[in-house]
Amino acid sequence: MNIAADETGRERLIALGVRHVPVLARGKDYVVAQQLDAIARFVGVETARHTPLAPDVLIERWLGVLTAAQGFMRQMPAQRLGDEVAAGRKGNVLEHGYHALRIVEGFLRAVAGIEKNWVDVSMEPPAPDVRSGSDVARYGETVKAKLAGWRQHAAKEDWSRSLDLVDGRWMLHAFLERQVWHSAQHIRQLEALLERFGVEPQPHLDRALLHGLPLPEGVWS
């Protein structure tokens, strides 16, 4: 169900004890639809095996797509920042760009054991002084510095360790991959928004950054 289009959708989610979407539900059973393997088990289908990129490669890709997001937000027309991102989606263009970057904050707090609800962290609205695309880009420098700092210690990580988070149990390696492609998908959307507004992205997103990531086929999927 689309809770933006279905007036009863939110009530049904609350009755299940769910706070975040996407969710796949069947009667009183549900799975938070963030992990493809969990979805496949829930619906009883076999999935093709996917081998994640190495952690150091994933971190490098993440830094690359975050840099692209900064560039796109600097190019975003000021008069469009308050526009709806897409029909049925909450948030405006400014908030969408901020969220694409803030995913890093949610990831790092979850990995450090500070916050299980990485979703709420990533969805926090921009600070009052973040009003322009350039402000969002400057915020990007902050999260990139935090990610780069964490990378210095990541070589000592146990990538098979489990994280007990709001959307289930994740292996650290899988959670890193999830957040890299999560940011990347939103940054594809920022590029599409520029094109919708008649702005030629300079430069376009380097598709090599996306190779090997399990991204949805559609930009707005």
pLDDT at 173 over 70: yes
Determine if the pTM surpasses 0.75: yes
pLDDT at 16 over 60: no
**Is domain 55-209 classified as CATH 1.20.120.450?**
yes
Buried b (16+ CB within 10 A) or exposed e, 119-145: bebbbeebeeebeebebbbebbeebbe
pLDDT at 1 over 50: no
pLDDT digits (tens, 9 = 90+) for 66-91: 999 999 999 999 999 999 999 888 89
pLDDT average, residue stretch 157-185: 96
pLDDT digits (tens, 9 = 90+) for 26-37: 665 554 545 555
- The ranges of the chain annotated as CATH 1.20.120.450 are 55-209
Tell which residue, 50, 65, 53, has the closest CA to residue 97: 65
pLDDT digits (tens, 9 = 90+) for 94-148: 999 999 999 999 999 999 999 999 999 999 999 999 999 999 999 999 999 999 9
